[in-house]
Every structure is written in C-alpha cells, then in structure tokens.
Structure 1
Amino acid sequence: MKYFNQEDSAYAVYGERDKEVIALLANRFIGENPQVPYQYRLDFTSGILCDTEGWYLFDFGSRFPQAQIGEICYGAGDLYSHEQTPSSFEVRCQGPVVCYVNGEEVFRSLPGDESYKTSAFFSITLLPGLNHFVLVTEKTEVGFGLKLRNAKPQWEPPHFLSPIPARNGQAGFVYSQPDQWNLERQNLILSGCYDGITWFPCEEYEQPQSCCPITRIFGASSHGTAALKSQFYLEEAKTVHGVIRCDTQASLYIDGVLKGEWQGGTWESEMKLSGGAHTILILCQKQPDEETGLTVLLETGGNALSLCAGVKGYEGQWIYTGLFDGNIPPVSDLLSMEKVYEGINGTCFWKADVPDSSVRIFAEEELYGKWTYPCGVTLYGLLTAARYLNREDWQEYVLEYARMTAAVYDYSVYDKSVFGYPGVNTQLCWLSELDDCGSFGSFLLEAYKYRPVKEARKLADVIADFMRNRQRREKDMVFSRNNNTMWIDDMYMSIPFLCRYYKVSGDAAYLTDACRQAKLFRQYFFMTDKKLMSHIIDLTYGKMNRIPWSRGNGWVVLALSELLLILPKEHPDYDAVTSFFLEMTEGILQVQDETGMWHQILDDPATYDEASSTSMFICAFSRGIRLGIIKEDLRLRCMTSITKAWTGMKKTVINRKGDLYGVCRGSDCSYSRSYYRQLGWRFNDPHGIGIAVLAGVEKLMLDEFLQNTVSC
C-alpha cells in the first residue's frame, strides 16, 4: 500500500540523518499537542450526574414525583469535538425517548427499548466544535427518564457543557421541569433558544438566606477555618492599597506570601506588587451562628481591582474550601488547584457561592493531560529520545505531563466519589483491566527516575496493588480479562510496569510475576508452526484465534525486551525468557516484507504496511543485540532487518512533515481474519508515534554500540 508519493517521504528529504527524522516526529507531536492546563468548570451536585460506569442519569421519576402521565422533560447539553469523528452512544430508556443532535433526530426508542431492560445504540458523526444534544423523554406508567453514555466511556468520556448562553462554561446537562409537549417550544430548544422555560440545576438560593457567602456555603451552625481564593492581574508593577474587614480572626496571603493577619476588625496596607497575575488567599474563622462580616477591597490609583475566581461558568469573584480545624493545609497546597484537602467533614475541594455547586477539573485536550495507554507508550518514546538526544525541552514536556496526571489522582478519586465519573484520569479511575493502568503506569515510573514526584510513587503503589490483588487471573496466575478472554496485548500492559515497580520498590515478587507472565503467555499463545503469537484466546472455548495480529506481536517482543533489560543472567527464569524472545525473533524475521515493513496481519502480505509493529520489532531486535542475547548468524540477520525496517519506515510511513501513517487503530478481538483485514489505520495515531520515535533512537543506540564494539 502506498501512503504518499516517494518525494514526500522523510527519506527523500533527510536520507540517513536519523536524528532529524526523530526530531521531526517528536516536534510535530508536541506542536499539535501543546502543554495546556486542565480546565476548571462549575458543576452542580443537584444536576444530571454520572454513575461510576459513565451513565448520565436522567432520573426524572425521582426528581419530579408529582409529574403526570404524558408529561415530558427536556435535557440539553453541548459536547465539544476536536475534529469531525464518528462516535457511538448507548441509551437505556424508562419510557419513550427521542434524541436530537445538531437539530437532527438521531434516535427514537422502540417499545421494546422502554423499560431499562436493554440497551439501544446510535451512531453519529460529531462535528468540529460544539455539538448540541437535546433529549426528550415522556412519563409513562413504567417510569420517567433515561440513561445515556458513550458506548466506550473509559476511552471517550463525553464531558457535556451547558448550552444556555447565560451559563456559558458550566459543566453538565441542563434539564426542564415536566410539562405538556409543545412543538413550538421544542423547535426553539432545537434551534438553541432556551427562553421561557425554567431550567435546572437551579442557580439561586432558596429564601431566606444569609448575606454572608461563607454562611450560605457551609451552613449557619458550622465552624472552623474557611479558605477563600481569587485572582487579579496588574499590567505593570504597582502599589496596591488593600482594605479588608473581617469580624473574626483572619490572615491574608498574596502569591503565597503572608501580608497580614489580625484578630478581627479592619486591616489596611500598601503592597508593592510586580506586573502579571497574582493569587489572593484569605483564611478566616467561622463561628457557629455568626457572620464573618468579610469585605475585601484592593485598589490602585483609586480604582478597584477586578477580582476573578478563574472558574468557567462562574461570574463570582471568590471560590471557597474548608472548613478546617487546627490542621489547616499548607498555604502552598491551598494555592494549588490540583489538590484536595482534609476538612472537618472529610475530603473537600473548592466551591462557589452558588447552591449545590462545586469546582471541577476536566482534561479536555485531545491527548495532552489524558491518562491512556497509547499516551503512556508515546511519552515513553519521547522521554527516551529526550534523554538520548539531550533535548531538555522534550524532557520538560514529558515530565510535566507525568507530574500533572499524578498530581490530580487524589482529586480524581474525590471527584468520582461526588460526581460518579471523574473529569480527569478517567481511564485510571475506571481501573478494571490492565489497559487502564499498566502502560501509563510504566511510563510514570520511568519519569519518576528523573523527577521523583511523591504523588507518582503513591500512584504506582495503587497500580501495583491492583495488579497483585484485584486484576483478574486464571488459576495458574496468568492475567486474563473480565470478559473471559486473554489478549497478548496484556504482556506490555503488565510486564514493563512490574519490572519498573520491582526496581523502585525492591520487591522481587514483582520481577517474579513479570517472568511468570512471560512464560505463561508463551504457553497459551505461541504458535510453534509460525513462531508467532495468536492475538486472543476465548477462555469459554479454550481456543486461540491463530491470527498473528502485528501490533499484538509487537507488544509481546517489546515487553520481553523491557524484561530482559533488567533481568539478571543468573535469574532462574532468564533462560526461559531469552529462549522465548529468540523464538519470536525467528518468526518475525520470516514475515518481513521486501519494503522493510511488517504487515497488519503478519502472515498476510495483502494487508497494509503497519507502522507501530514495525517500530516495536526494531526496538526489540536492537535491544536483543545490545544485550548480547541475539548472536552469530541471527545477529547479522537482525542487523540487516533493522536497517531495512527503519529505512522502510522513513520511505513508507513517515512523511517530510513528520506525519505518521499506517498505525492500526485500537483493536477489539475476533476469530475472523476479515476483521483484522478491515481494521483500518489512523493518521498520526498515538499508538505509533512514540514507538516510532523510540525505534529511531534504538537504531541510533545500536549504531553507536556497534561502532564501539568494532573500535574495541
């Protein structure tokens, strides 16, 4: 298969200048996925919440118990998409349901769908930008409401936003109170007009309420220390005049520096501050059934500074957390928007002066800041390249990615406990399979070597505990999946993490488990006639599918090479692991194409040239030679194969702009070869980019190794 004209290939431009090809791939990825912070949005515990399986629960029967038979409710939300892309949704109906997307009807329930007993599915094409969803459901004797989720919620978690302009930026759906169906009203809603209807969740407090925000948020009878935070911006260095009144004990911090503390009354001072953004933090005592009387004025040149909470969908100036007893979190922690805090009433995060509201964190970029196994592989490749080529900019990009995902883990657990489905680290919090944690966890520990962040080590302990005690295994302790299948992919989703966790913990049981998995996966999947691995086994039937899917075999040899990088030669399993690695090497060499590439199905040359598997085979062979495992004639064959494969990559799948072609999309499993034949490739897919970068680096490392060997 020809992906582009030869003159557009990386090889045509760069030839053997491999460092520049690696930089081309890495810079393109980083340029298209820049460092973007998480987004902070207002959401409501009284809104349409998700459960832990990703279902949005439109539970109108319990919300409106007085609704009459035949009345309807609307739910509306906007879903952002980075590009035009197909997407599938799952619906469970409790009564008739109609779904519209961008004004077009995309789903209408059938009578058999309307009892919560079965799921219905619909597929749509999401357009770039905001996609407008409207759901209409009717009350019947059976019930009132529905559940909605993405068909693969752990992979494509849909974070809906309020479509109402006055609530711009708020997270979640809005919904109406029950009423009789009206065509004119429905057409207005479909067109994006929401006037004339009361929409929930409610943004107004029930009367009467205190005039004090701290009392409104935490309750009149509560007590403890409240923390308030806001931001302001100075165009240049200025003197800021501050006047703060509080009837209770209080303290003021600007950018983490204590500026004043007092026992009650008025504090006034002049503060010289630099230009730029500043954070203001106030700690004040709240006494039971008493108002704090807190007022804040910051001004320059007689003009009041504009304060901003920095939360989308919230016009207020301050956000609040607490209440705390004597154990007030460090100011540095309170300045962070990544941490949760232990308050008097348990774990807490930031709230707004709106009823039932919370500030929530969302990872909204297409890739950056997401916890997924393809991103774990990509970042591992980028980090290895950064270290080898001394690219501090790449390394900083990768290490900051690792830090931020680890830093919000405690928050994501808290978010899940409050809202059912977290806005960050979604796949990690799903945590039911090795896919959810192993690849990214392995990268996290690799990054930990260069920037030992305590949150990363804590998170690694969570993953290690999951693998050891909760991940499904068969009686012989081999890893399996919850749907009663086994996949060779899980060698990479487990073994590299087990190896790195062994190194950081010193617990040899994890190295023993890594070796056990390698030996058992060979026992289950190795096809001796092909010297390749079958992709899957359905344990119900006890049969492998005997299809050597290319990336699956790539996962196998890459995982084995990761194990061999740290496995001592005197280890009792060393011979078994190296023997398995060499058998795989022989089988893979036999099916390499004349182009240097390997095919989507390894023994089917009619299938397309696949980039991710070719990259992984380069990596594994290079490591095998450098470790002295691949020797003599096989060594010469592998050296030739690597050169041919890397040249094939540059000619066939990497173009002059650093785009990567021919990466198989994420796979399901099948016993039919036709499934794998039609499993198409994706442009610049993260399953392949980091591995292609790693392959280039491994080729350079092998060249250097061979030069040093000859010179010696």
Structure 2
Amino acid sequence: MDMKSYFHPNESIAGKAKSDKHILATIAGRFIGANPKHPPIYRIYSDEGFRRGADYRYEMDLALRWPELEDGQFVYVWGKLWCDGEIEHPFSVSCFSPVSIMVNGTQQFASNLNDDVFPDRSSYFRAKLSKGWNHIVLEFVKTATGCGGKFGTGSIKGFPMHILAPTADRDGQEGWVYSSPQSAAWEIMPGAEEERGASAAVAEWYPQMKWTPQELNAGCFNRIYGEQQGKIAYAWTKLENRNPSVQTVRMIGEYQGQLTVYLNGAPVYEKHQQHSAGPLDVTLPIPFGVHDLIVRSACAGAAWGFSLEIEHVSGESAGPVRRIQPYPVEGLRDGWLYAGPFSADNAPLPSAITRMDAVFGSEGERTFWRADLPGAWVRPYLENAVYGKWNYPLGVTLYGILRTGLELEDPHYTNYAADHIEQCTSLHAYSVWDQAQYGSPGVNHQLTLIDSLDDCGSFGAAMLEANKLRALAGAEAAAERIAHYISREQSRLEEGTLYRTRGTTDFMKDTVWCDDLYMSTPFLSKYYELTGDLAYLNDAAKQFLQYKKLMFIPEQGIMHHVYDFKFGKGNGVPWGRGNGWVLFSLTELLAVMPAEHSERPALLAFFSELCQGYRRLQGIQGLWHQVLTDPESYAEASCTSMFIYAFARGVRFGWLEEAALYVEAVLKGWDGLSRYAIDKHGNVYGVCRGSGYSFNRLYYKDQLSWQLNDTHGIGIVLLAGIEAMKLRKHVSTLGGLESR
C-alpha cells in the first residue's frame, strides 16, 4: 500500500516542521489539546438502587424489590446515558424473565424463549446511541422464573458505562429508577419525544430518596448513621466571600451532642454535650475567598446533629458571603458532605478530612463521604474518554509524552503525563475500597480488577518511569499490586512462561502472545530498578528466552504473533506490532540489565537476530508493513516506530554490529513516518487498531484496519522520534557510547 494515500503530500508534517523537536511538540500538543486534564466527576449514588457487579452489569432483580409482584405484571426500569457523538455501543443482558430493551423509544432487544430460562447466559447486542442524552428503558414481565435481569456494558475493558438517574428530583445522580408493578404494558416509553402515557401511568419512581418527618427531626447525623453512642462524625461545607474586604458572618441554628466548628482547620466554636436541642450561634470574620467550614460532633443520645444557616453579614461594605459545595458533587442538594462514624481514637483530624481521594478511618470503620439523603454516598466516576483512564495503550502513549517533555526540556509535557498517571494512582486505594463496597469501581477499573497482563504491565511501566521524576501519590502501592499479580497470579506454563488460560473471547484460551512481552517485561525491568530485587529482572529475562523457543521463526529472524496450544503451533503470521512489542521490550530489559548477568549474552544474540530479520523487511518508503512479510498489506506506523526505537538504541548502546546499516534504517524509517504517517496538525495515521489473532493472514491484512490517532501508536511514534534525534547526536559526536 502506498502511504501517500493517507493524506496529500502537502499535508505532511515533513514539509512544515523546522526540526524533529517541532514534530514531537506538534504530535504531543495535539494529543494534549484533544484530551484536557479534567478530573473525575463525583456523583451521588444510592445504595438502595441497583448494584453493578464485577462484570459492570446492573443486577436488576425486581422480584426481590416487589415481593408481591404477580405473574403477568410489568416493571419498568429507566436510565439515561450521555454520548459525545453517534456511536454503536455494545450491551449485554442476562434474563431472569422476558425483557424488552428500548433505546430512545426504539426496541433494540427482545428476549426469546431460550434467553428467558437460562439466567446465567449472556446475550449481546449493539445499539446506536445519539449525541447527547440517550434514554434506555427495560420492560420486564413477571413469570414463574422471576422478574428482571442483569444489564450493562458488552465491553467491560473498553466501555464500563454507568447510568444516570433520568428524573428531575435525582438530576445528576448515578443509577436507574424503576416503577411500581404495572398491570398492563406501556405504549409510550419515558424519555420518548412525547412523554405521556408511561410517565403519567406511574405515580412515583423508586428508589425514593426522602426522609420521613421523624427522621428529619432526629438530627442530620442520626438519620444518616443512626444512634452511635460516643462516635464522632464530620460535616463539611465551604464559605465563599466575594467581597474584597473581610465580612463578619453570623450563623445560627441548633445542635445535639458535642460540637466543634472549625474554619480552615482551626477551632472557632465549641459546645459541650447536649442531649436535647440547644441553640447554636457562631459569629466569624470571613476574609475574601473560599474557606473550609467543618463541624465535628460526638453522639450523646438518640438526637444527634445540627443545623446551621447564615443569618447576617456585615463589614466595611455589604458583600455576598454564601455557603457552597465543599467539592463539586452532581446530585448534591444541600451543600454538606458527611463522614463517619468513627471511634474517638480513630477519627481523622479536621485538617485531614477535607479531601476527595482517600478513604477515612481504619479497618472496620473505613468510609467515604455521604449526603443527607437515605442511602446516599458520594462516588467518583471517570467520564473522560482518555484523560485519567488506565489502560495499556495509554501506558505507551504517556511514556512517549513523558520522554518528549524530557527531550524538549519542557515541563508542560512531563507534567501532563505525570498528572494523568497520578490521577489514577492517587485514587488507587480508594478504588479498591469502592470495588469492595459497591461491586465495581467508578475509576481505575482495569487496575482494580486486574485479570490479565493487559490491565497492568504497560501503564505500570509508564507509572514507574513518571515516579522517577516526582513521587506520585499511591504509585508504589499500585506497583506492588502489579508486581504481585504478574509474579503470583498471572497464569504460567510449568516452566514459568506467561500464558493465557482464558481471555475476553474463547479463542484466547491456551495461548501465548508476543504482546505479553510488552505487557510484562518493561514493568518487571523497571520494578527491578525500583526495588533492586533481581527476581523481577530474572523473570523478565526468562520470558524472552521461553517465548523465543515457542515463537521464533529462525529462517526469517522474526516472530509468530501467537502460539496456540490448542493446535500445538504458532499461528504463522508475523504481525507487525506484535513483533514490535518484542523488540521494544527487549531494549527496555537490556538497558537496565547488569553487564555481568548470566542471560545477557543470550539476550543480546536474540536481539541481534531479530534486528537482522526486521531490517531486511523494511519497505521502500522506510516503513514496515502490517504483515511484515506482505508488502501488499498497509504500511503500519506503530511497528515502524518500535523498530526505529530499538535499532537506534542498539547502535547507541553498542548492541549491534554493522551499525551503519541500522543508522540508515532508523533515518529512513523516521523520514518515512514524518512524510507519510504524520500530518501537519500532528495527527498520526496508519496505526493498527487493537487486535485479536488468527491463523489467517487475511485477518491481519484486510480486517485488522488502521485508525487515526490510535493510542497504540502516538506514544511510540514520539519515542521513535526521540531515539532518532539521540542517534543523530550520537553519530555526529563520534565519541563512543552515550551513557544512559
């Protein structure tokens, strides 16, 4: 395939950029501009709603919700899902009884006789979602088998969706609403353009998040936590003064129990134990800006809580002082967050409670923020398409951006990559707690629910690289978890070879993939750097030698993509990126391996054999092909980048003989990328999408298409450019090996 077909030659960055650094800055800048640094969204979640399991599907057992439900009656479940653009979304459903699923008023799924009697089976379908809000309604019919089902994403790793409540009283909150039992089917679904019939047919939606009058009179802490003699709880809000001068604020209300008020961590008002309602009257000077207001209370009886409202503001000139949310939480109505209850010796300090990334308390009392509604908790949800997400393609993307910042000596890039990674690591401990509490976390789902090397090794390696530049909150704990998974939990063959006994699809069962060298050995190499424990380095070295036995094609000097034990052979297809992962990862290992390591000579020999095989297959335009041995398959940017990266390092570190041949291959390859695969806006073309595997090379050639700006390729293109620059500098100095 002619790479010129990706775009007109005049659109190439090669004709626009003044230097390789300019190219790197353009690619990295485009990516950063397209994926701004937005934090997770915090939402109110009702623990009286439907729980998501570890498979990220909602468990909707309506027979449990309505024990008096009669055969033939209907129950409706309604939620909404936002989409940034039109997409085909994968869904999965398991049926406890007949179910019909409507998306934006159109039926997209109806169970059949088989579905209705096999509740453990999953049915998959895809539905078109529109830009904006999409309303999803499930119609369940009660039969003798039950009523309900499990429904949610059809792609746990790719689209771990969460649903938002569609009713006005729960606006911004996570979760579905469900109807009371209905004697007849609705003709018009809620959320349809003409909302009548169905909306009018049901008086109320459930769960109802309303306190009874008795609960409202019991005090905020009592209705949230119950009577907890001697226990401590906190309430948090903020005061904002928009007037440049100091304003004197009087706040009045009532309290029960022992109470202390803190402003910005310092106590400003205290009341001793109060068994009945007592007056609360606080006068405070409030400077310009936003200030934390904390109320700490100890339970002294059945009534436990407080009320606090601004009554009067005065100062040099009248100005607005208002109470605002302590942190943006969608669905929060009254502007207070609550944490507790804690035993007196376990309660966090008031100065340590004003954060949204940590669980509070010790074992037995660990908790997070709640709202003053029945069963209402605060939870973070990642709603960005890219920023803050943890997955393996983003691992190599962020590694490339991080290294770009170092090469350009520009902290804009290094900070972006490190901040993305730290958004994940800082929430690691929370997400583990969240998963145990609710079934599936709203952030860090792949790290928290690790079940494959894809989930941890790539991003973990980038994390350790970023952690060298600055200590990232939670990084070392996350690294320890990843190391334990790779070393102790990941399936292995008898001799220790990393191995897939299962996968997201049946064909992955009993296979070894080239990809998994990248998903494991760079992390193991960097974890060895962090800990000094040779066991991790030795494990990485062993993987390369074992994979060579299974997958190396000696007559060509390249690798099968997959070895399938179901057939006892390699699949016979040298997929470009799979081979690229091998060579890239081997350089990461060799770069940290001590010169005296016993396996180093064998690994250097393997590296040389692979480089010779790959160099012979470079295309006339400097790029390598999707199927390495098929010049009719498309020229592929990510494997090209990895070969450039490895060749350049091989020359710089003295691992390769006939260095001139590899210098030429690197420069030819980088020129080809910049001319044919990168346009003037920094868009990267020709990167193969995420793959399955096949014994049919036409799958790779014709079905496994390329995608624009795929995250499998952006970072490695940057790394290739950096290594091409380093190689030019190395050769021009003629001063021997450049120190690492």
What TM-score range do you get, normalising by the shorter chain? Answer: over 0.9
Shift of 1:544: 1.4
Alignment of 1:127 onto 2:152:
no
Matches within 5 A, 1:652-691: 652-677=676-701, 678-691=703-716
Specify which of 703, 706, 709 is matched with residue 728 of structure 2: 703
Shift of 1:266: 4.1
Query: Which amino acid in 2 is paired with 1:289?
Result: A
Specify which of 310, 333, 337 is matched with residue 297 of structure 1: 310
Alignment of 1:268 onto 2:292:
no
The equivalent residue for 1:251 is 260
The equivalent residue for 2:412 is 393
- Structure 1 residues 293 and 77: CA distance shift in structure 2, 3 A: closer
Query: Which amino acid in 1 is paired with 2:681?
Result: K
Alignment of 1:564 onto 2:583:
no
Taking the aligned partners of 2:195 and 2:479, their CA distance within structure 1 comes to: 46
Q: TM-score, normalised by structure 1?
A: 0.95
Query: Which amino acid in 2 is paired with 1:666?
Result: G
Query: Which amino acid in 2 is paired with 1:172?
Result: G
- Misfit runs of 4+, over 6 Å: none
The equivalent residue for 2:79 is 77
Taking the aligned partners of 1:385 and 1:41, their CA distance within structure 2 comes to: 35
- Structure 1 residues 93 and 673: CA distance shift in structure 2, 3 A: same
Alignment of 1:461 onto 2:480:
yes
Shift of 1:187: 6.3
Taking the aligned partners of 1:426 and 1:340, their CA distance within structure 2 comes to: 17
Matches within 5 A, 1:489-568: 489-568=515-594
Shift of 1:539: 2.1
Alignment of 1:324 onto 2:342:
yes
Taking the aligned partners of 2:157 and 2:523, their CA distance within structure 1 comes to: 21
SS at match of 2:159: coil
Give the superposed CA RMSD: 2.1
More displaced, 290-299 or 143-152? 290-299
Shift of 1:498: 0.5
Matches within 5 A, 1:30-429: 30-115=32-117, 116-186=119-189, 191=194, 194-197=199-202, 198-206=204-212, 208-211=214-217, 212-237=219-244, 238-243=246-251, 246-263=255-272, 266=280, 268-275=282-289, 277-297=290-310, 300-301=313-314, 305-309=322-326, 310-325=328-343, 326-342=345-361, 345-429=364-448
8 Å contact 1:154–1:430 — kept in the other structure?
no
Shift of 1:398: 1.6
- Structure 1 residues 476 and 104: CA distance shift in structure 2, 3 A: same
Taking the aligned partners of 1:625 and 1:258, their CA distance within structure 2 comes to: 64
8 Å contact 1:323–1:344 — kept in the other structure?
no
Shift of 1:83: 2.9
Shift of 1:683: 1.3
Query: Which amino acid in 1 is paired with 2:404?
Result: A
Shift of 1:425: 0.1
8 Å contact 1:96–1:109 — kept in the other structure?
yes
Taking the aligned partners of 2:615 and 2:336, their CA distance within structure 1 comes to: 63
Taking the aligned partners of 1:558 and 1:294, their CA distance within structure 2 comes to: 61
Query: Which amino acid in 2 is paired with 1:84?
Result: E
Instruction: Note the alpha carbon deviations across 1:539-578, whole angstroms, 9 max, x for none.
Output: 2222211111111111111110100110112100101111
Taking the aligned partners of 1:413 and 1:192, their CA distance within structure 2 comes to: 40
Query: Which amino acid in 2 is paired with 1:227?
Result: Y
The equivalent residue for 2:276 is none
Specify which of 687, 694, 700 is matched with residue 719 of structure 2: 694
Taking the aligned partners of 1:260 and 1:587, their CA distance within structure 2 comes to: 76
More displaced, 381-390 or 125-134? 125-134
Q: TM-score, normalised by structure 2?
A: 0.92
Count how many residue pairs are aligned between Structure 1 and Structure 2: 708
8 Å contact 2:80–2:135 — kept in the other structure?
yes
Shift of 1:239: 2.0
Shift of 1:491: 0.4
- Structure 1 residues 187 and 44: CA distance shift in structure 2, 3 A: closer
Query: Which amino acid in 2 is paired with 1:349?
Result: F
Identical aligned residues as a percent: 34
8 Å contact 2:228–2:341 — kept in the other structure?
no
Unpaired runs of 5+ residues, structure 1, are none
Taking the aligned partners of 2:351 and 2:567, their CA distance within structure 1 comes to: 56
8 Å contact 2:522–2:589 — kept in the other structure?
yes
Query: Which amino acid in 2 is paired with 1:318?
Result: W
- Structure 1 residues 653 and 331: CA distance shift in structure 2, 3 A: farther
Query: Which amino acid in 2 is paired with 1:479?
Result: L
Query: Which amino acid in 2 is paired with 1:306?
Result: R
Shift of 1:340: 0.5
Shift of 1:298: 7.1
8 Å contact 1:163–1:192 — kept in the other structure?
no
Shift of 1:431: 0.4
Taking the aligned partners of 1:458 and 1:19, their CA distance within structure 2 comes to: 35
SS at match of 1:575: helix
